[in-house]
Amino acid sequence: MPKRIMPRGVKDNHRKYQICTNCVMDTSDSRITFNEKGTCDFCSDYFDNILPNWKQGIVGKDELKRISYQIRKAGKGKKYDCIIGMSGGVDSSYLCYIAKNIMHLRPLIYCVDTGWNLNVAVENIERIVKALDLDMYTEVVDWREMRDLQIAFFKAQVPYQDLPQDHAIFAGLYNYAMKNGIKYVLTGANNATECIRPPIEWVYQNDLTFIKDIHRKFGTVPLKTFPMCSILKYRGYYTCLRGMKRIAPLNFVKYDKEKVKRFLQKEFGWQAYENKHYENVFTRWYEGYYLPYKFGYDKRRVYFSNEILVGTLTREEALKELEQDPYPPKMQQEDKEYIAKKLGISTTEFERMIDGPNKTFEDYKNSWGMIQIGTMILRKLGIEKKKFR
């Protein structure tokens, strides 16, 4: 994508341009560091912390068997022994298959309708659920509240425009699981496509203090039913007191995304989208237009770097791909008009909003200090492996 605007709001934006010699992360992440070989800290973290702890092959198979047994045993006598948050994307679709046919579990499929899902994603969900004979529950987020929070986020001028949707999905899933006594939450998170966590300045945490502060400042409709879950509630009450466990089964199987896509297509008539996260109109436009245009952040750098690290893409292929627009400019414009219309504002008003001065999470109340302490503890305990900054 051509550099239309220099990232504003980034604290260290006068830094000399540098790109990692191993992956494609660069100084558009203002806090990136490089070693003497020119390799970035994400790469070092992958080789030092993630790879040595990644149980694949026979070890992974045994581990998956052990976990499956544990989940089945804990869920004896219950209608469901686990819950899966399903988006219709490749990760969660494959997870449903693994859970039912490999782990022999009885999962409840949980979906969230934020108002932005593409038909292709909805069709994927329906196909998989039907073919695997699973039960599904869909939580529909109140559109007035969703819309109000999203407009508040745009007015706040922060990069994290996907946070309202993300929070609704994550909070809704955990709240529903706990309310219905389902202890095991299976997630499609995996090292193969997500071993690099995007920098905090690009994608901030599910921080309820921050979300509420933005809504307090810019919102107009009270959030009465919008799913909410603070980090304290999730990490403390749900995890420590009520024993909720998050399991990521895809880390224990060989996960080659392209092969899996072909498998899902053949087995379930599943359909692919151009990009892993493009199952949703809003996300497509937010990642493919808003972030690169307003902040200079191109999330494809994170996705491609991941693929380079796990060996499913070469650095040359990634660099070539990065020269192209994330998706066709005509479609970007159409999406922008569609989103403005759906949010109930004119395109001109929306564009004016987008062109306001950039802000970060540090401009609002947040729990970043607490999150850092929590993550430090989790990393020391060996529970959290990914770099976090």
Q: Which spans of this chain sit near Zn ion (rule: CB under 5 A)? A: 20, 22-23, 25, 40, 42-43
Minimal distance, residue 299 CB to Zn ion, in Å: 15
Report the residue number, 25 or 185, with the smaller CB distance to Zn ion.
25
Residue 378 is encoded by which pair of tokens?
A: 């989790």
Report the residue number, 32 or 152, with the smaller CB distance to Zn ion.
32
What separation in angstroms does the CA of 256 have from each of 191, 230, 310, 313, 332? 11, 34, 9, 11, 29
Minimal distance, residue 296 CB to Zn ion, in Å: 18
Minimal distance, residue 190 CB to Zn ion, in Å: 19
Report the residue number, 25 or 200, with the smaller CB distance to Zn ion.
25
Report the residue number, 22 or 206, with the smaller CB distance to Zn ion.
22
HSE of 100, CA atoms in CB hemisphere, 13 A: 17
Report the residue number, 25 or 149, with the smaller CB distance to Zn ion.
25
State the Cα–Cα distance between residues 44 and 35, nearest whole angstrom: 9
Reported in sequence order, the residue ranges of 166-290 that DSSP labels E, i.e. its strands, are 184-186, 245-247
Give 85's strand partners.
110
Minimal distance, residue 283 CB to Zn ion, in Å: 24
Minimal distance, residue 42 CB to Zn ion, in Å: 5
CB 184, CB 238: distance < 8 Å: no
Query: Nearest to residue 277, comparing CAs of 265, 263, 291, 266?
Result: 291
Give 247's strand partners.
186
Helix (H, G, I), strand (E, B) or coil at 191: helix
Minimal distance, residue 25 CB to Zn ion, in Å: 5
Report the residue number, 43 or 253, with the smaller CB distance to Zn ion.
43
